[in-house]
Amino acid sequence: MKRPTARPSRGAARRGHGGLARLRAGLSAWAIAHGRALVSSLGRLVSMPLSALMTVGVLAISLALPALFLLLLQNVERLSADWDRGASLSVFLDLSVEESRVQSLADELAQSPPVQAATIISPDQALADFRRMAGMDEALDLLDDNPLPAVIVLIPDPGLGAEGLQALGAEVQAADGVDSVRLDLAWVERLQSISDLLRRAVWLIAALLGLTVVLVVGNTIRLAIQNRREEIVIAKLIGATDGFIRRPFLYEGLWYGALGGLTSAVLVGGVRLALDGPASELARLYQTGPILVGPGLGGFGLLCLVGIGLGLTGSWLAVGRHLAAIEPK
């Protein structure tokens, strides 16, 4: 049996409480109008599944490609940051520098801020190392004296970039007793410029594909507006506001963006999964930490949000451009 509801009718509420109740009724009407547009626009997508699926597919790929590139970039940068840590400075001292001075210089350098550690390679040790290299043994026997200078190897702070390394090198070069400083910088610089290049390329591609999403959604919404021209005219004839007419199209764009974003997240997740095996095999061989990381839950969420944002932008552009042109005749 159906019991009578305790909720007062809208009319009673309006008579009873005035302003606040009217505001609440207005707000709930607003929310219901939006909810209706949200559901009906999704219903329209479902009613033409093939074309909707194709559009969503285009959007998903357009979103997944830059997401994958960005993921790649992120991992390259993470790995190269690891490798930067391997960079070191070799400080070759004058032959005349005495052993005690070598020690004090090493201590001095170890104290300076960007240096993490300073290791001394004495001339004897260097010669011993040298001897171990094949073919050098006999050649060295011909020499009367040890021609090798003492070397101090500096390990800089891990955070120090290529420029910081260069500055440190120049500083050390100026110190008393230093003959030359060799920076193993070239490859660090190369790697950094490669990742700079990669970063710029990836963002450019991301921007272009983002524009693709906006244009695809815009065009889809433009077609939807054209298909429903008669309906728009009739709605305007019987007093629909611009907002009422705009709303379902905006929500349609939002749905396209959201579904595109969600599908692209699935695509990225799938690609990630497919690469997981080979990546951990590579990591095992190199005995490094994980080679492929991310994008994580936040990344997937961001992808969906970006999809929604771009979808809304596209439909907003289409609606602003094409809806005003339709007036009842």
Using rule CB under 8 A, residue 239 touches another protein: yes
- The three-point CA angle 322-236-39 to 5° equals 75
What does the block give as tokens for 225? 């507006």
State which residue, 233 or 302, has the beta carbon closest to another protein: 233
The packing angle between helices 19-47 and 242-286, to 10°, is 60
User: Of 24-32, 181-189, 199-207, 274-282, which part binds another protein (CB under 8 A)?
Assistant: 24-32
Q: How far apart are CA 322 and CA 151, in angstroms?
A: 74
The residue written with tokens 């492929």 in the block is: 292
User: Of 57-65, 133-141, 236-244, 300-308, which part binds another protein (CB under 8 A)?
Assistant: 236-244
Using rule CB under 8 A, residue 167 touches another protein: no
Phi, psi (rounded to 5 degrees) for 121: -110, 110
Residue type at position 161: G
Q: Which residue from 133, 238, 273, 297 is in contact with another protein, where contact means CB under 8 A?
A: 238
Phi, psi (rounded to 5 degrees) for 237: -60, -35
Q: Which residue from 13, 235, 282, 317 is in contact with another protein, where contact means CB under 8 A?
A: 235
State which residue, 118 or 250, has the beta carbon closest to another protein: 250
The residue written with tokens 């070069």 in the block is: 173
User: Of 59-67, 206-214, 227-235, 300-308, which part binds another protein (CB under 8 A)?
Assistant: 227-235
Q: How far is the CB of 231 from another protein (least distance, A)?
A: 6
User: Of 63-71, 95-103, 210-218, 240-248, which part binds another protein (CB under 8 A)?
Assistant: 240-248
Phi, psi (rounded to 5 degrees) for 268: -60, -45
Q: Which residue from 108, 179, 189, 231 is in contact with another protein, where contact means CB under 8 A?
A: 231
DSSP secondary structure string, 229-264?
Answer: HHHHHHHHHTT--HHHHHHHHHHHHHHHHHHHHHHH
Beta-sheet strands, E only, within 88-144: 89-93, 115-121
Q: How far is the CB of 30 from another protein (least distance, A)?
A: 8
Residues found near another protein in the complex (CB under 8 A): 10, 28-30, 32-33, 36, 230-231, 233-242, 244, 327-329
